[in-house]
Amino acid sequence: MHPKTIAQSRPDHAAVIDSETGRILTFKEMDEGSNRFANLLRSHGLQAGDVIALMIENCPEYFNLTWGAQRSGLFYVCISTRLTKAEVDYILSDSGAKLFVASGSLAAQASKVEFDGIRYAQNGAIDGFASLEEALAKQPATPIADERAGVDMLYSSGTTGRPKGVKVALPEDPAIDQSNTLMDIARMFGIGENSVYLTPAPMYHAAPLRWSMTAQRLGATVVLMPHFDAEKTLEAIEKFGVTCGQFVPTHFIRMLKLPDDVRAKYDVSSIKLAIHAAAPCPVPVKRAMIEWWGPVINEYYAGSEGNGLTWVTAGQWLERPGTVGKAIHGILHICDEDGNEVPARTEGTIYFEGGTEFEYHNDPGKTAEARNKHGWSTLGDIGWVDEDGFLFLTDRKSFMIISGGVNIYPQEIENHMINHPKVTDVAVIGGPHPEMGEEVIAIVQPKDMADAGDDLAAELVAYCRTALSGVKTPRRIDFREELPRHPTGKLYKRLLRDEYWAKAKEQGQ
């Protein structure tokens, strides 16, 4: 299926609703808008296989552009609105984009980019950019003659280094309405024409973009939040009768930490499927969400690369707390440093066999590093499986702390500390230590910054010792008003680690 099919059968059905304003874009309007954009692309000579870039804040018209590129056979690069000029310049250059669209609200960033291609501003003016609305108004709302399926090409958030462009080949079948694995999974779990799908995260990230477009393929209405807000999320669920949506653990934590009377104000009983991913969810947090929303919390593990996917229902998770499920796309393997598969309950690098083939754009070295001697691919995560094939995540290999020769995974420490009532957010990194090599440092965002100090630090250390071994208990606790998180919930841990190591170098440590 494809939105064009829904536009023909139910033209006035809402394709997307702005959660704050209530503004609706119908399937007919979205279909016509995507056709206008496809015609505009062809008018500039862009053909199948070309690349465009979008740096746009969440708004209903986002879908006009992604569907317009999809039906034109293009690669569409969705750029984070929070990147620096240098990072945007890099992605525009590395991707080979020929056309760039930016939100008018991002004029300060977009006007300074180094880009020689075609520039358009959406919903506002930007120096050096033409008006997208004026250009689209001159284009026909009918399909282009040479429609062909295109795909996204998304860049990693750069949490472990320079962003990597994840590129999959254009589908061999050019039909724009062909089915795919994500559609099959969505159907399996009941997403369809009567669903109302909530997207509280930025559309430039893989999961919100792909799941929202998949929901629209199946005729569902997408409720799009301009920005995540814990209480406004609950309000949107009640107001629009949301039946399904996707979240990250940070969203759960912030909703759970709302005052009891605020949580009780809203009826969330319409939710039948709440999907979460992007980062491991602390066991107490997920258990609390299931107690609140019911057994509707489903989880998957995957990456932008699409090389494999695991899935676990609430019932399965309650039987095996902490698991991220069994593979439903690709064959799961846990391997040692030599690429050999290890026994059940043995930690190793997570690989998938037979999933979607991908490459890192313009980086054959990174592409090769992501594969082992069998040709299986990895995202660089560490984990283990039980005897029934259920996967448990440990952490990213690149975040591992080695202290006195002992391997320590920060995620376990973070998962424990986040449950302390005085902690809003926490990051654990390895900092330099003259004897141990690295020491465990916890950087805490307290619920009340007035509590930050030695007393709270001592309280948190004592709290860690109730559940963690001595080697895992932080040797140092620092406090910050806010941690550097990507809007999708991913933590920019590399930035924190680099900061601490740079300071140590300056001090001659």
- Residue 143 CB neighbour total at 10 angstroms: 15
- For residues 146-173, average pLDDT: 83
Task: Out of 163-167, 169-173, 291-295, 489-493, pick the least confident.
Answer: 489-493
What are the tens digits of pLDDT across the range 194-236?
A: 999 999 999 998 899 999 999 999 999 999 999 999 999 999 9
What residues have CB less than 8 Å from 90, skipping those under 6 apart?
A: 162, 163
Both tokens of 377, joined, read 């691919």
SS (H, E, C) 405-420: CEEECHHHHHHHHCCC
Q: What residues does CATH 3.40.50.980 cover in the chain?
A: 23-174
Confidence of residue 397 (pLDDT cuts 50, 70, 90): low
Average of pLDDT values for 278-299?
90
The Cα 311–Cα 300 span in angstroms is 4
Low-confidence winner among 42-56, 358-372, 442-456 (lowest mean pLDDT)? 358-372
Q: How far apart are CA 276 and CA 278, in angstroms?
A: 7
Q: How many residues does the chain have?
A: 509
Q: From CA 273, how far away is CA 259, in angstroms rounded? A: 24
Confidence (pLDDT) at 487: 66
Give pTM, 2 decimals: 0.82
Pair 431, 504: CB distance under 8 Å: yes
pLDDT at 159: 44
Q: Are 403 and 431 in contact (CB under 8 A)?
A: no
Does position 35 have pLDDT exceeding 80, yes or no?
Answer: yes
| 3-state helix vs strand vs coil in the chain, percent to 5 | 30, 25, 40
pLDDT in tens, 126-157: 999 999 999 999 999 999 999 999 999 998 75
E strand or H helix that includes residue 445: strand 437-446
496 close to 429: Cβ distance less than 8 angstroms:
yes
> In which element (H, E) is residue 90 found?
helix 85-95
What's the confidence (pLDDT) of residue 157? Answer: 58
The tokens describing 472, both together, are 């895992």
Element (H, E) at 262: helix 260-264
What pLDDT shows up at residue 425? 92
Q: Of 43, 185, 193, give the one whose Cα is nearest residue 120.
A: 43
* pLDDT at 488 (0 to 100): 62
pLDDT of residue 405: 66
- Numbered ranges of CATH 3.40.50.12780 in the chain: 215-397
For domain 215-397, the question of CATH label 3.40.50.12780 is answered with yes
CATH number of 23-174: 3.40.50.980
pLDDT range class, residue 27, cuts 50, 70, 90: very high
Per residue, what are the HEC states of 335-380? ECCCCCECCCCCCEEEEEECCCCCEECCCHHHHHHCECCCCCECCC
Alpha-helical runs (H) found in 138-198? 181-188
Per the listing, tokens 């399937």 go with 27
Mean pLDDT of 12-34: 98
433 pLDDT band, cuts 50/70/90, is confident
C-alpha angle with apex 490: 263 to 450, nearest 5 degrees? Answer: 60
CATH second-level architecture of 400-506? Answer: 2-Layer Sandwich (3.30)
Q: For residue 495, is pLDDT > 60?
A: yes
pLDDT score for 161: 53
Residue in 209, 199, 182 with CA at minimum distance from that of residue 247: 199
Rg (CA), the chain: 23
pLDDT band at 70 (very low <50, low <70, confident <90, very high): very high
Helix (H) or strand (E) holding 329: strand 323-329
Q: How many C-beta atoms lie closer than 10 Å to residue 209's C-beta?
A: 22
Please, which residues have CB within 8 angstroms of residue 368's CB and are 6 or more apart in sequence?
Answer: none
DSSP state of 230: H
Residue 449: C-alpha distances to residues 71, 120, 178, 270, 428 (Å): 50, 42, 52, 36, 19
Chain region(s) in the chain for CATH 3.30.300.30: 400-506
Output the pLDDT for position 134. 98
Work out the pLDDT band at 468, boundaries 50, 70, 90.
confident
**What is the average pLDDT value for the chain, to the nearest integer?**
92
Least confident of 74-88, 125-139, 319-333: 74-88
Distance CA 216, CA 4 (A): 10
Distance, in Å, from the CA atom of 92 to the CA atom of 115, rounded to the nearest integer, reads 7
Q: Which is it for strands 297-301 and 359-360: parallel, antiparallel or unpaired?
A: unpaired
Sign of CA dihedral 340, 400, 303, 325: positive
3-class secondary structure, 457: helix
What is d(CA 471, CA 51) in angstroms, rounded to the nearest whole number?
49
